[in-house]
Structure 1
């Protein structure tokens, strides 16, 4: 991963210099793509190391959100810069600038070659870890982006089609914008402790199917990191010995495991809560149905 970061930073510098000297906006947009991916890979590596640190009294959940924070900042910056590139591409459509096709092609070939090396380096390990898999997919798209710039360089050299340069820029920018916005939305949901995609009504029915349970309510679900989902709820039980309480908790934890929940907190009670909705304090619709758990 670190070698891939070094390669991508090298490509970035080469494409920035080559883009300025050749006048190619496509090279500059591709350099942004490589730079953002280099930062993403580096951030993933650093976050993996930070996430390995042990929990303590101050950070009882550990450090898994380090990766989320870094991804949020990276994607927010990326979306802003892409908007700038789209504005510049529009200006190029209106007033085409002369482009040094051979220089553009040469730099693009260097970027393509370096990206291919990075892809080959991470291919074998792409299924071991989600961070590595994400980095691998980013580098794979970098390679495809470099192919597009190479084709554009050849077309400009042969047919002098200057409009192709901003067109490639728009295509690359829109793709980066989509990827960046998806990451931005997901990281924001984690930071805002939005509920993951869980079927609360189905979970409620399953918990209430346990013989000792009368009602399940006041659900809360959130993600600490990418793979760690926490869930807590109130479970009203029938009259029974205290010794059976742990059996109920174990049954609830087991059924929530199939929903991908990694940490469960169950508050057992007996005729305690007056309001017994799935979401505590959730607004009702006119027909009295429960609002969306999200």
Structure 2
């Protein structure tokens, strides 16, 4: 028993240490992104480049989004209380959704600006645009490398990482545009790059919007097959059926499961509890579900049906 407790404490400590590391990295990335924004706004205004200004707005959106991720990470560590019995983990999901929507909104604004630029082309200082874009690329690469390892473990870090990936690609596109404008004065490339980068970012961000909305709507997680769960549970010889099944995600990793289990026979409590543990073990081992609530009974919902009939 002591080993189990020690292991749980070690895991809990490891989780908190991992969370602290996520937070420190997010804070560093925020500071780097703010520096890019300042340089790009100045560079975009002086060089008259829309794609540089779009990159700056993009980075400003990212800086605030990543900072919101950082704050959300802090709040999510608060323990559950009487008002929020599930705790505060969902704040990270709300933050990830907000980040994604902000990014899509910025892209739509940039499409509008790019359209105006197509209609009224303006001269651009290509060399200055190129220098500032190279600075942006280097800073974004450093930020992306910082978050790369953690992005698969946390939806918020993933959202921040997607922001940075988009920034890195847009910096590469702006560099290419800077070269073409500097050498050949191809000014229409500036709004074209802005549109291409925007489309790419929306394409990738949409996945985060869908995932966060699914979690908030308590949709069945994609990797959970309810029919298979029903088949496996009803294979246990004492079980008549499983019904009132609800499966949802609390955040991007914790899956919760609740259901009613109706037994074939009116067995004693000790045997019923043993079967409940067997079902929990099955759900954990075969489907990776840890947070399980099962209501056990004999003819457990037939009584309810009778009550409803009588009421009608």
In the alignment, what sits opposite 2:295?
267
In the alignment, what sits opposite 1:284?
none
Of Structure 1 and Structure 2, which has the larger fraction of its residues in helix? 2
User: Does the 8 Å CA contact 2:166/2:200 hold for their aligned counterparts?
Assistant: no
2:138 to 105, 113, 119: 113
User: Does the 8 Å CA contact 1:233/1:267 hold for their aligned counterparts?
Assistant: yes
Change (3 A) 1:19 1:262: farther
Deviation at 1:40, TM superposition (A): 3.4
Change (3 A) 1:222 1:54: same
1:191 to 198, 216, 236: 216
Deviation at 1:30, TM superposition (A): 1.8
1:219 to 240, 245, 261: 245
User: Does the 8 Å CA contact 1:223/1:230 hold for their aligned counterparts?
Assistant: yes
Structure 2 alignment gaps of length 5 or more: 1-24, 305-312
Deviation at 1:208, TM superposition (A): 0.3
Other structure's SS at 1:78 match: helix
User: Does the 8 Å CA contact 2:65/2:99 hold for their aligned counterparts?
Assistant: yes
CA RMSD of aligned residues (A): 2.3
TM-score of the two chains, using structure 1 as the length reference:
0.85
1:255 to 267, 282, 286: 282
Q: Which moved more, 1:16-25 or 1:3-12?
A: 16-25
Q: Distance in 2 between matches of 1:98 and 1:56?
A: 59
TM-score of the two chains, using structure 2 as the length reference:
0.81
Other structure's SS at 1:62 match: coil
Other structure's SS at 1:221 match: strand
Q: Which moved more, 1:205-214 or 1:71-80?
A: 71-80
Q: Distance in 2 between matches of 1:138 and 1:90?
A: 23
Structure 1 alignment gaps of length 5 or more: 277-294
Provide Cα deviations, 1:191-245, integer angstroms capped at 9, x if missing partner: 2222222211111000101121010111111111111111111111122211012
* Count of equivalent residues: 275
Change (3 A) 1:38 1:275: farther
Q: Distance in 1 between matches of 2:227 and 2:152?
A: 34
Other structure's SS at 2:293 match: strand
